[in-house]
Amino acid sequence: MADKPIQFTLAERNLLGKDGQRHRMQVAVPTGRKRIGFRSFCARVAKSTTFNEQEVAAVLNYATGIAKDIVSEGDIVEFGDLGTLSPTFKSKAVPLNEKFRAQEHILAPAVRLTPSKKYFTLTNVTFEQIKSKKENTENPSSDTGGPTPSGPEQGSGGGGL
């Protein structure tokens, strides 16, 4: 289980209901997030290995560079627990009577990450409701009750972090 619960606030949304009408609803929105820098990430990985921070960074950067080279040749790379990397691009529609020219009609080549469901599904996490920064004191506060354990039965698979 994670040491720290995922914090969230409640936000009001005007959503389309099953009856086809719009209803004011409340939804949980993750908050309190911070970005962990690449160097900090490498330092945390290095603590659990015989490598130092710079070696971890070098290996990760080298692996991503090699994967990008392989994908740029049209192949798919299985990138461990993260998922697969594959080539993708946008294409203009061209009438059948016109010649299709790749340089002109294929746009924005990129690497697509198809995440592994097993890796990107969070289990054994807890949640903690916090007050929104812009929440005024007029609104009645709902029961925060501390961290709420979660499992696969509580999530709908939609939204997320």
Q: What local confidence, expressed as pLDDT, does residue 68 receive?
A: 92
Q: Give residue 56's pLDDT band: very low, low, confident or very high (50, 70, 90).
A: very high
Indicate whether 26 pLDDT > 90. no
pLDDT at 146: 52
Cβ(142)–Cβ(130) under 8 Å? Answer: no
Q: 96 by DSSP, 3-state: which?
A: coil
pLDDT in tens, 72-93: 988 999 988 889 999 999 988 8
Report yes or no on 54 lying in a domain.
Answer: yes
Look up the pTM and report it. 0.60
Q: Flag whether 51 is in a domain.
A: yes
- Residue 42 to residue 62: CA distance in whole angstroms: 14
For residue 44, what are the domain limits?
36-73
> What is the reported pLDDT for 154?
44
Calculate the average pLDDT of the chain. 80
In a domain, 66, yes or no: yes
Of 43-47, 112-116, 152-156, give the lowest mean pLDDT range: 152-156
Residue 40 lies in a domain: yes
Residues 6+ apart with CB under 8 A from 122: 161
| Domains in the chain, number | 1
What beta strand segments (E) does the chain contain? 6-16, 22-30, 77-78, 83-91, 106-115, 126-129, 148-149
**Is it the case that residue 160 has pLDDT exceeding 70?**
no
Q: Is residue 64 part of a domain?
A: yes
The answer to whether residue 63 is domain-embedded is: yes
Query: Phi and psi for 8 in degrees, rounded to 5?
Result: -145, 160
